[in-house]
């Protein structure tokens, strides 16, 4: 359990760091990059239906990307066009689905007019690391390790 929480905490910090710049980076040619065989980009615009997302409510907004990493055993989903109200309602849906908050942090991003929110949740089977800035929501899903 401690290892799981440490992994989720690191993922949350990385997500918060990534969210500290609200601008989307320009598209680049990644043909020179090597990608592990364990990492798969799933269909854009579609909520993934797999063992990681099973039992999770589908959040509002538009799925901008999904990464399935079988080696590190997690699924990451990024959602665009989600309001503060929709984010708060989704967090309530997760609680109703049996998830409880382990940790929640928020940070005002200097030079920007928003607060980045990070939350770690669990339902004893799955762990979620969620980061949110206005209009951008990321969920990292992994299974609890014993």
pLDDT by residue (tens digit) across 44-99? 999 999 999 999 999 999 999 999 998 889 999 999 999 999 999 999 999 999 99
Q: The whole model's pTM is what?
A: 0.72
Average pLDDT, stretch 11-17? 48
Q: What is the pLDDT of residue 146?
A: 59
Average pLDDT, the chain: 80
Of all residues in the chain, the percent with pLDDT exceeding 70 is 74
pLDDT for position 90: 95
Res. 137: pLDDT tops 80: yes
Residue 126, phi then psi, degrees to nearest 5: -125, 150
What is the arithmetic mean of pLDDT over 22-26?
42
What's residue 35's pLDDT?
Answer: 55
Comparing 68 with 15, the larger pLDDT belongs to: 68
Helices (H), the chain: 2-19, 84-96
> Which is it for strands 74-80 and 62-69: parallel, antiparallel or unpaired?
antiparallel
Residues 88-132 have pLDDT tens digits of 999 999 999 999 999 999 888 777 778 889 999 999 899 999 999
18 CB-near residues (< 8 Å, 6+ apart): 131, 138
């Amino acid at each position: 359990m401690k290892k799981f929480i440490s992994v989720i905490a690191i993922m949350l910090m990385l997500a918060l760091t990534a969210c500290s710049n609200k601008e989307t980076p320009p598209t680049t040619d990644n043909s020179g990059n090597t990608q592990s065989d364990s990492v798969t980009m799933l269909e854009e615009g579609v909520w993934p239906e797999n063992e990681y997302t099973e039992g999770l409510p589908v959040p509002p907004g538009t799925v901008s990307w999904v990464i399935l990493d079988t080696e590190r055993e997690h699924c990451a989903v990024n959602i665009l066009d989600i309001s503060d109200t929709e984010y708060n309602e989704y967090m309530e849906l997760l609680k109703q689905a049996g998830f409880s908050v382990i940790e929640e942090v928020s940070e005002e991003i200097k030079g920007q007019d928003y607060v980045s929110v990070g939350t770690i949740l669990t339902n004893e089977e799955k762990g979620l690391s969620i980061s949110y800035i206005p209009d951008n929501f990321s969920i990292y899903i992994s299974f609890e390790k014993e």
